Structure 1
Amino acid sequence: MKKIIASLLAAFALVAGAHAAGGPGIALDKFPKDRLTDLAALQNGAKLFVNYCLNCHSAAFMRYNRLRDIGLTEQQIKDNLLFATDKVGETMKVALHDRDAKEWFGATPPDLTLVARSRSSHSGTGADYLYTYLRTFYRDDTRPTGWNNLVFPSVGMPHVMWELQGQRAAKFAEVQDPHAPGKVIQEFQGFEQLTPGTMSPQEFDNAMADLVAYLQWMAEPVAQQRVRIGVGVLIFLAFFMFIAWRLNAVFWKDVK
């Protein structure tokens, strides 16, 4: 229970940090929800998560063998995804020490088990936030890592998937703040591609959609099952209500 509370607090701190930094400063893109029911997308997302995220971020409340729920066999998990341990029943932990992480990145990378559920607001869901965040890194030489992010300004995390997307620069223009007359703010104008990535822009967007789908699934693996059960319960209640209504009519038909 203490670990769960600590994970939620870390996720909340990440969200609070984004607000304190002024993000998100752009409208969130809509995450393609059809990925949540696509096993191939979820499996690709799991591969991306293990290869790019699990180096620094743990998922301490998810076990590797739970990946069988998205169509992977235990042997496939062992052969392709089991890098941090040799037991398929272990949780997704990392060897990175909290002290080292704080020294290198300025803060301990939060556990990602519940990250997709921790970031939702009037501007979008947690999946929308992650989908936009992962696709809006840009080069910024003023930052210690050389990277910045539109959704989370001054983020401590570098762009770990820059080889896939390529390097981009963000173009800003000075405009008047509509909420504060006389104040000038930086308005985002678009990206400039500096170097190409190994993926096309559409391929990278699809890959990030798969990764976010996996993060969303990991945050609540039984979500789809819960929805199906809920629909079944509502159908049963509607049917039972009809039966109760007819029985009531039969019981009281001779009463005047």
Structure 2
Amino acid sequence: MRRIIILFIVALVWPFTVSATSADHPHFKADVDVTDKASLQRGARIFMNYCMGCHSAAYMRYNRMGQDLGIEDSILQSNLMFATEKSGDTMTIAMQPGDAEKFFGTAAPDLSVIARSRGADWLLTYFMTFYRDDSRPFGVNNLAFKDVAMPHVLWELQGIQKPVYRIVKKEDGTQREVIDHLELETPGKLDSEDYKNTVNDLVNFLVYVGEPAQIQRKKTGVVVILYLLVLLVIVYLLKKEYWKDIH
């Protein structure tokens, strides 16, 4: 019994411990709305132009994306399809895993379900917290993903950030240097707010890719709830009619 109580206490405390540990760097809250087709279209454009050179989304088909996002086939083929001419194809890439390992040290993961595994907030934080680190092979590091193997492909939009450090004292009395915040060193094409909105659109698109059916599922869910509410009223009135003579 004592062991069970201890495990229960640990289970209660653990989430707060993780939260405190991960609070060493800024966190960003993603504004996710898969019903916002304009945002999804902008996110799709960013994904195709900046991400899909290395990352696939093999669980998604071009024509399904076009139907869900309201993109005509002609626009889809001329603006978003660079690796194939068939709209029914899945969103794969030409780069082989072996080549990716040679170029980057690791194979670039498929991003079909990255939003479901990592979460929208983590993805937004990841895109927002690249910073210059001359010790890394591609000259950048990331607060959300330490020693990341990926270059900062959106640096032209965001610019280059540098870390600003502070000294913290550890429990044993020793001191260590930690990153306090990031500071823009070289401006990009977008200001900070526009860049955040841009990568939020990208995150929104990745959330949609993780479960394309959620658009229809949420619409259907509203209809089902309304139907059940109406049915509840009818059943209640029917119950009163059946029991009126008894009461």
Distance 1:24 1:115, change over 3 A: farther
**Which residue of structure 1 aligns with residue 40 of structure 2?**
42
Quote the offset at 1:165 in angstroms: 1.0
**Partners of 2:241 and 2:185 in 1: how far apart?**
77
Q: Which residue of 2 aligns with 1:137?
A: 130
Larger radius of gyration: 2
> How far apart in 1 are the matches of 2:220 and 2:73?
27
User: How far, CA to CA, are the matches of 1:38 and 1:219 in structure 2?
Assistant: 16
Do residues 170 (structure 1) and 163 (structure 2) align? yes
Alignment of 1:89-108 (within 5 A): 89-108=88-107
Report the Cα offset of residue 26 of structure 1.
2.2
1:202-227 CA-partner distances (Å, limit 9, x unpaired): 21111101111111111112213212
Aligned match for 1:51, one of 46, 49, 63: 49
- Indicate the RMSD between aligned Cα atoms, in angstroms: 1.9
**Per the alignment, in what secondary structure is the counterpart of residue 33 of structure 1?**
coil
Runs of at least 5 residues in structure 1 that lack an aligned partner in the other structure? 1-18, 120-125
How much identity, in percent, do the aligned residues show?
Answer: 44
Deviation for aligned residue 1:25? 4.1
Matches of 1:72 and 1:24, distance apart in 2? 40
1:229 maps onto 2:220 in alignment: yes
Q: TM-score, normalised by structure 1?
A: 0.82
Q: Which runs of 5+ in 2 are unaligned?
A: 1-17
Q: Which residue identity does 1:234 align to in structure 2?
A: I
- Native 8 Å contact 1:114 1:218 kept in 2: yes
TM-score, normalised by the number of residues in structure 2:
0.85
**What is the deviation of 1:237?**
1.6
SS in 1 for 2:237: helix
Contact 1:25 1:151 survives alignment (8 Å): no
Q: For each residue in 1:61-118, what CA deviation from the matched residue of structure 2 results, as whole angstroms up to 9, or x when unmatched? A: 1011122211110000110111011111111111111112122222211110111111
Distance 1:38 1:181 in 2: 51
User: Against the structure 1 CA distance between its residues 54 and 24, is the aligned structure 2 distance closer, same or farther, given a 3 Å change threshold?
Assistant: farther
Say yes or no: does 1:196 pair with 2:192. Answer: no
Superposed, 1:1-256 pairs within 5 Å as 25-34=24-33, 36-68=34-66, 69-119=68-118, 126-177=119-170, 180-255=171-246
1:156 aligns to what SS in structure 2?
coil
Residue-pair matches, total: 227
The answer to whether the Cα contact below 8 Å between 1:24 and 1:150 also exists between their aligned partners in 2 is no
Contact 1:24 1:152 survives alignment (8 Å): no
**Contact 1:133/1:150, CA 8 A, preserved across alignment:** yes
CA contact (8 A) 2:40 2:205 kept: yes
Check conservation: 1:138, 1:169, Cα contact below 8 A.
Answer: yes
